[in-house]
Amino acid sequence: DTGVSQDPRHKITKRGQNVTFRCDPISEHNRLYWYRQTLGQGPEFLTYFQNEAQLEKSRLLSDRFSAERPKGSFSTLEIQRTEQGDSAMYLCASSPTGQGWAGELFFGEGSRLTVL
Amino acid sequence: AQTVTQSQPEMSVQEAETVTLSCTYDTSESNYYLFWYKQPPSRQMILVIRQEAYKQQNATENRFSVNFQKAAKSFSLKISDSQLGDTAMYFCAFSDPANAGNMLTFGGGTRLMVKP
């Protein structure tokens, strides 16, 4: 069990460019979540998948944001036409479901986006 | 919608002393989970302790314990025998098993500094 991994850990881009982040969840976890965390604040929910199905999207997820989990394993979060307000840490988390699970999410180290 | 409030943006404590971090939440649900997560500087978020709302007994994990007051919607974290490694951001979080895949709603965090 290698934990949740995210790539890249840090991305610096110019306003207007597209960026993509990847998340590899813990292998047996069928739920995957994306959160955004700005400096000094708590994480805010963006979206989640159960297997390959995207089941919930926050109003924070504007049309410039898209997330996929094509085979129910890794996920990508793409931000198109980045704006300075997109600068944040993007956190990925995963979890199992079913009996015995008490609601804990397992987080990756995050991908920090800086938009110049 | 559920909300989580942490009223102490920053706290400090001397090594080996005890500190209590406060958290209040708002929900109309009767069945839910509460969590405290720790986020060390530039490190991933890890679970410190969890509480199921249906359990009256307060959860404990080694030096960490909670005071769960369901009627008051209060969920404080007590850290005993504070250690330098406890220096981190601490986030209180709420999840409703019936909502959005059990996604977590976080408070704004409390920055804890343990001083030698």
pLDDT at B101 over 80: no
Q: In this predicted model, what pLDDT tens digit does every residue of A18-66 receive, in sequence order? A: 999 999 999 989 999 999 999 889 999 999 999 999 998 998 888 999 9
Q: Is B11 on the interface with A (CB under 8 A)?
A: no
Residue B2: pLDDT band by 50, 70, 90 thresholds?
Answer: confident
Q: Least CB-CB distance to A108: which of B37, B44, B50?
A: B44
CB contact under 8 Å between B101 and A109, yes or no, is no
**Which pLDDT score is estimated for B20?**
98
Q: In this predicted model, what pLDDT tens digit does every residue of A69-107 receive, in sequence order? A: 998 899 999 999 999 999 999 999 999 987 777 789 999
pLDDT at A1 over 60: no
Q: What is the 3-state secondary structure (H, E, C) of B9-38?
A: CEEEEECCCCEEECCEEECCCCCCEEEEEE
The average confidence (pLDDT) of chain B is 93
**Which pLDDT score is estimated for B100?**
65
Half-sphere exposure of B52 (CA within 13 A, CB side): 7
Higher-confidence position of A1 and A44:
A44
Residue B114: pLDDT band by 50, 70, 90 thresholds?
Answer: very high
Interface mutation target, options A2, A26, A41, chain B, most CBs of B under 10 Å:
A41
Q: Is B31 on the interface with A (CB under 8 A)?
A: no
Q: How many residues does chain B have?
A: 116
CB contact under 8 Å between A48 and B108, yes or no, is no
Instruction: For residue A105, list chain B residues with Cβ-Cβ distance below 8 A.
Output: 104
Q: Is A82 on the interface with B (CB under 8 A)?
A: no
Contacts for B77 with CB less than 8 Å, ≥ 6 apart: B20, B21, B23, B36, B48, B49, B64, B65, B66, B90, B92
Query: DSSP secondary-structure letter at B58?
Result: P
In chain B, how many H helices and how many E strands? 0, 12
Q: In this predicted model, what pLDDT tens digit does every residue of B67-81 receive, in sequence order? A: 999 999 999 999 999
**Which pLDDT score is estimated for A25?**
96
